[in-house]
Amino acid sequence: MSQKLAGVKGMNDLLPPQIETWQRVERTARALFGCYGYSEIRTPIVEDTALFVRSVGEVTDIVKKEMYTFNDKGGRSITMRPEGTAPAARAYIEHGVANTEPITRWFYMGPMFRYERMKTGRYRQFYQLGAEAYGSADPSMDVEVIALTAEFLKQIGVPDVVLHLNSLGDGSTRPQYVEALKAHFAPLTHLMSEDARQTFERNPMRLLDSKEEALQEPIAKAPAILDFIDEASRKHFDDVQRLLGRLGIAYELDRRLVRGLDYYTRTTFEFIYQPKSGDNALGTAGTVCGGGRYDGLVHELGGPEKPAVGFAMGLDRLVMLLEAGKAPQATGPTLFIGTFDGPLRDDAVATVMRLRNAGHRVDFDPRGGKLRRQIERADKVGARYFATWGEQEVQEGALELKALGLPDDHPNKTTKVELARLGEWLALNARPGAAS
C-alpha cells in the first residue's frame, strides 16, 4: 500500500461545512467594506524579502524567526508574505496611486505565512482580512478603521471582544522613551534569554512583546510610552478618543499595547476576545484584530509622504469563535430526485441539471440503485424534499414531493407539483437564506 501523505504542519484544510462560515464572513466583509468606500486589492503571495525586513523591522519576531524565506531559481531572496500592510504599501507606491487620488482605501483577504509555535488559533498559514487607508493623518481616519472593525465584528456576530487602544507618538520623542526602557531593563538582563538580551540591545521596545515568563512582571512595571509622546500626538490621541466616544465605541486604554511590528506611529489598537464567563477558547491567541497608524512607512519604502492607517483581522480566529457552540445548520439541497435505471434516467439527470442552471439546489445519487438507498442518501445530505422520477410521474407531468423532515402522518408530508411549475415552486420553498 502506498504511504499516506499529510498536510504541512500548521496549515489547515478548510472544508465544508465550516467553509460556509468563511464564505458568510467574506460576503459580509465585501458588503460592509464597500459601504465604507474600501476597494479590494490582491497582491502576490510572495515578495522580495527586503520589503518585510525594511517595513516590519529587522528586530521583530516576524522577521527574525518566522518568515518562510527561500531563494528562487534566479538566486533572489523571496518571502511568503507574513502580513499584508507592506505588500499593499509596495503596490500603492509601485503603481503611483497617490498621483491619481488624494485618499485611497483598500482592503484585502488572503493567506499569510508565519513559522510560529502552533497552538489553538495560531497557525503557520492563516488568513487575514485587512484594510489600509492612505492619504490622511486626520483622527477621523483612525476612527473610521476602528468603527469599520467594530461594526464588522458586530455584523458577523463575534461576541465578547474588547477594543484596546494606545498611542505610540510620532517617533520624535521615542529616543527618550527608549532610554527610559533601557534604564528599566538594564538591571534585569540576568533574567533574559540570549534572544531577549539581543532584543534589549537592538530594540528594547520589542521586549514589551516578549512572551518570556521571567519578563512578564518587569514588562508590567515598565514605563509606558503614552507618558512620553509629543504634544501633537497627544492632541491627535485625544481627538481619536473623543470621536470614538461620539460614536459610542467603548475601549480600554492599554498602555502596554506597542504591537509586534516596527512601522507604527501614533494610534495602535487591538480587538481582543475576552469572554465574560466560561472558557477562553483562544487563550493567549485572543487578539482577533490588530492595527494602527503608520505615517512613515510609505515614504520609508520609497514613496511620497503619505500618512496611513489600517488593520488586519485573523479570520481563522473569527471563524473559530463563530463555530463554537453553533447549532449545525441545514444547508443541503432543496430537492433530491430519485432515479430508476434505464432510459428514464437520462431525463431525470437532465432535469436535475436544468433546475440547477436555473438557480435551484437540486441533487441526485449518481450511483442509482435501490430507491430506499437513494432516500437515505437524500436524508444524509440534508435534502428538504425527495421525489422519484418514474414512468407514472412523466406520464402525469407532475412529481410527488415528500418533505423529508416531516412525520409520515403530517398533512403536508407530500405535495404534487407540475413539472412545468417545478422551478417556481422550488424558489418559494427553498430554505431561508439559501439559494433554492
CB atoms under 10 Å from CB of 392, counted, come to 9
Pairing of strands 414-418, 398-403: antiparallel
Cis peptide before 17 (omega within 30 of 0): yes
d(CA 318, CA 341): 47
Which residue type does 200 have? F
Contact flag: residue 240 with ligand HAM (CB under 6 A): no
Give min distance, CB of 142 to ligand HAM, in A.
11
Contact flag: residue 289 with ligand HAM (CB under 6 A): yes
CA 410 to chain centre: 44
Residue span 297-326 as binding mask against ligand HAM, x where in contact by CB under 6 A, dash where not = -------------xxxxx-xx---------
Q: What size, in residues, is the chain?
A: 436
- Nearest one of 48, 57, 33, 30 to 294, comparing CA atoms: 57
Give min distance, CB of 251 to ligand HAM, in A.
16
**DSSP for 102-142, written as a single string:** S-EEEEEEEEEE-----BTTB-SEEEEEEEEEES---HHHH
Options 79-87, 160-168, 329-337, 356-364: segment touching ligand HAM (CB under 6 A): 79-87
Q: Which residue is nearest to ligand HAM (CB)?
A: 314
Q: Which is nearer to ligand HAM, 122 or 377 (CB)?
A: 122
Q: Which is nearer to ligand HAM, 215 or 318 (CB)?
A: 318
Among 41, 288, 348, 375, contact with ligand HAM (rule: CB under 6 A): 288
CB atoms under 10 Å from CB of 96, counted, come to 10
Residue in the structure block whose three cell numbers are 501633537: 232
Give min distance, CB of 86 to ligand HAM, in A.
8
In this structure, are residues 315 and 364 in contact, taking their beta carbons and an 8 Å threshold?
A: no
Give min distance, CB of 311 to ligand HAM, in A.
5
Give min distance, CB of 289 to ligand HAM, in A.
5
Q: Which is nearer to ligand HAM, 128 or 166 (CB)?
A: 128
- Nearest one of 394, 393, 386, 390 to 342, comparing CA atoms: 390
Among 52, 92, 108, 123, contact with ligand HAM (rule: CB under 6 A): 123
Give min distance, CB of 358 to ligand HAM, in A.
40
d(CA 272, CA 288): 6
Options 11-19, 122-130, 208-216, 358-366: segment touching ligand HAM (CB under 6 A): 122-130
- Nearest one of 260, 59, 268, 300 to 169, comparing CA atoms: 268
Contact flag: residue 83 with ligand HAM (CB under 6 A): yes
d(CA 390, CA 414): 16
Total residues at interface with ligand HAM (CB under 6 A): 27
CB atoms under 10 Å from CB of 359, counted, come to 12
Options 19-27, 182-190, 286-294, 380-388: segment touching ligand HAM (CB under 6 A): 286-294
Q: Which is nearer to ligand HAM, 312 or 426 (CB)?
A: 312
Ranges within 124-153 binding ligand HAM (CB under 6 A): 126, 128, 130, 132
Positions touching ligand HAM (CB under 6 A) are 83-85, 114, 116, 121-123, 126, 128, 130, 132, 260-261, 287-292, 310-314, 316-317
